[in-house]
Amino acid sequence: MRLEEFIEDFERDEAADRRRLAREKSYEITDHLDDVEQQFERVVQGDSLFGSTAPEIFVGRSNYPDVSTGLLSPMDREADAAQFATSGEWYQQGLGVEEVLQRRTGLLNSTRSAQVNVRDVWDGFVGVQREVAIADQPVDVELGLDGSPEIDLSLDDISTPTGPRARATDATLAENPSVPRAVEKTLEDDDWQAEGAMTYLYRRGFDVYEINTILSAGALGRGRNRRLVPTRWSITAVDDTVGQYLRGSIRNAPSIDEVQVWYNEYMANDYWIILAPGNWEFELVELKAPGSIWNPDGGGEYYMAADSEGYTGRDSYVDETSGAYYASRLAVLERLADIDRQATCLVIRHASDGYWAPVGVWQIREGIRHAFEEGQPAVAETFHDAVRGLAGELPVSLGALRRKSELVTGVQSQLADF
């Protein structure tokens, strides 16, 4: 895997814009940040030593390869630390945008800057961070902090938001972390390419959330290639790698035999998934409402983005839909691998203005995963019938959709059909 593929340009002021918008949308978040500040003052003792339980880590991407790397731990020591880590359970618990932001603002990001090259680094701050990442339970740690944290909320379309940040002087483990056997195996084998190790963990029942934390800590891959991977890139890298593995597994599978339309709604995002008979072909079309966080001009038009792939996949990183593409593709491929069928698949995501702050691509992944678990699909005669059937529910015209979407324009046939 080439990490450069996951790097995109990131404008600082765009990030600031998003924060401002999110605050405007919810004064409660601003109030909540004030509470967080008071809470912090209560928990940190005079010498700035902070005992906590860390469920997750964060690796920034600015300034790569000199990155800011952090341990995330709840400031409320009574809280169940595991609840603060991003996982599919957040969907089951029915978390909304507000709750995600609250949870994450209660999580202190204790950071240090570090070189990403971590081949043999198992001591010091980075060592502790890596231990936390590979452990299967939140780990008790002692953190030395340098001054007060910056109380803020950092939003990103791919990663889960992070809250207050404080500079750490050092970190020590307060317990011996428990590391699952399969993770030890991938860790010890330094001649195992990262892709293979990720796939191995997935097949052993680890979800992508755990795998991307492990990858992020530089604990997978060939020895000389092991480095810290910025959280945002590692999420996409794992979705992509596991997706490619699943796509390979259905390469010769029979096609589904009817056109199905599945639907789910989560956090003011509508998801329609059309599965049609044919070879594997996939497209994500995103429709973002004016006034939503990604399309702030309230009086403007819908923002449309689309990316697609044919039977053999893509040769390059997507142009328009970034991490959402790989997260949605994974969810669909999991379904197809599960029923051992291939299909031509169109996912339409409508982000309405109720989705007022981005919470990360986990929301998309879970929204689509659960579309297949709840209820029965609608059935259509043909792919284009299914699209026409949806037209009334979509916020854009069929003509506009056709111009944007490769699949709505035409579905690839096979020579054997003639």
Partner 1 sequence: MFKAIVRAERLQSTLDSVGVLVDECKIHLDEGGIEIRAVDPANVGMVDLSLDADAFESYEADGGLIGVNLVRLQDIAGMADSDQLVELELDEETRKLHISIDGLEYTLALIDPESIREEPDLPDLDLSSTIVIEGRDIDRAVTAADMVSDHIELGVDEADGVFYVKAEGDTDDVHLELDGDDLIDLVAGEASSLFSLDYLQDMNKAIPKDAEVTMELGEEFPVKLHFDIAEGEGAVTYMLAPRIQSN
Return the residue of 8, 279, 353, 395 that touches partner 1, per CB under 8 A. Answer: 279
Alpha helices in 45-123 (DSSP H): 89-92, 97-105
Residue 153 to residues 36, 49, 113, Cα–Cα distance (Å)? 11, 23, 19
Asked whether 362 and 86 are in contact (CB, 8 A), the reply is yes
- 92 contributes a contact to partner 1 by CB under 8 A: no
End-to-end CA distance of the chain: 39
What would the DSSP string read from start to end of 175-234?
A: S-----HHHHHHHH-TTS-HHHHHHHHHHTT--HHHHHHHHHTT-SS-GGG-B---HHHH
| Candidate ranges 112-120, 223-231, 285-293, 304-312; the one touching partner 1 (CB under 8 A) | 304-312
Cis link prior to 65 (omega < 30° from 0)?
Answer: yes
> Which DSSP category does 114 fall into?
E
> Considering CB under 8 A, how many residues would be counted as binding partner 1?
24
In the complex, the smallest distance separating the C-beta of residue 306 from partner 1, rounded to whole angstroms, is 9
Judged by CB under 8 A, which of 70, 383, 390, 394 binds partner 1? 383
Verify binding: residue 412, partner 1, rule CB under 8 A. yes
Q: One symbol per residue from 103 to 142: x for binding partner 1 (CB under 8 A), - otherwise; what is it?
A: ----------------------------------------
Applying CB under 8 A, among 32, 247, 369, 384 the residue interacting with partner 1 is 384
> Length of the chain, please?
418
Report the residue number, 375 or 399, with the smaller CB distance to partner 1: 399
The phi, psi pair for 411, rounded to 5°, reads -100, 130
Does residue number 397 form part of the binding site for partner 1 (CB under 8 A)? Answer: no
The answer to whether residue 176 forms part of the interface with partner 1 (CB under 8 A) is no
The verdict on 148 binding partner 1 (CB under 8 A) reads no
Q: Per CB under 8 A, does 2 bind partner 1? A: no
Rank residues 353 and 385 by Cβ distance to partner 1 and give the closer one.
385
Q: Which residues fall within 8 angstroms of residue 52, CB to CB, at 6 or more apart?
A: 73, 74, 75, 77, 81, 108, 140, 141, 143
Answer for which of 96, 196, 310, 354 binds partner 1 (CB under 8 A) is 310
Q: Are strands 165-173 and 107-115 parallel, antiparallel or unpaired?
A: parallel
Q: Does 316 bind partner 1 (CB under 8 A)?
A: no
Smallest gap from residue 297 Cβ to partner 1 (A)? 18
Among 30, 62, 312, 397, binds partner 1 (CB under 8 A): 312
C-alpha 168/C-alpha 112 separation (Å) is 6
Q: Which is closer to partner 1, CB of 124 or CB of 410?
A: 410
In angstroms, give the least distance from the CB of 106 to partner 1.
42
How far are the Cα atoms of 52, 105, 107, 141, 413 from residue 99, in angstroms, in the given order?
A: 21, 10, 13, 25, 45
Helix (H) or strand (E) holding 168: strand 165-173
Q: Tell which residue, 312, 325, 346, has the closest CA to residue 236.
A: 325
Check: CB of residue 93 under 8 Å from CB of residue 80. no
Question: Taking contact as CB under 8 A, which single stretch among the options 75-83, 86-94, 177-185, 378-386 is the one that binds partner 1?
Answer: 378-386
Nearer to partner 1, 218 or 278 (CB): 278
Q: Residue 404, interface with partner 1 (CB under 8 A)?
A: yes
Of 171-179, 231-239, 306-314, 368-376, which part binds partner 1 (CB under 8 A)? 306-314
Measured from the CB of residue 414, what is the shortest distance to partner 1 in angstroms?
4
DSSP 417: G
For residue 354, the one-letter residue type is: G
User: Are the CB atoms for 280 and 247 separated by under 8 Å?
Assistant: yes
Least distance from partner 1 to the Cβ atom of residue 293, Å: 22
Nearest C-alpha neighbor of 163 from the set 293, 36, 17, 16: 36
Question: Which CB, 231 or 405, lies closer to partner 1?
Answer: 405
For residue 210, what are its two tokens? 């755990």
Q: Which residue of 263, 303, 311, 317 would you call a contact of partner 1, by CB under 8 A? A: 311
381 binds partner 1 (CB under 8 A): yes
Between 81 and 347, CB nearer to partner 1: 347
Binding segment for partner 1 among 85-93, 94-102, 215-223, 307-315 (CB under 8 A)?
Answer: 307-315
Q: Which residues of this chain interact with partner 1, rule CB under 8 A?
A: 279, 304, 308, 310-312, 381-385, 403-404, 406, 409-418
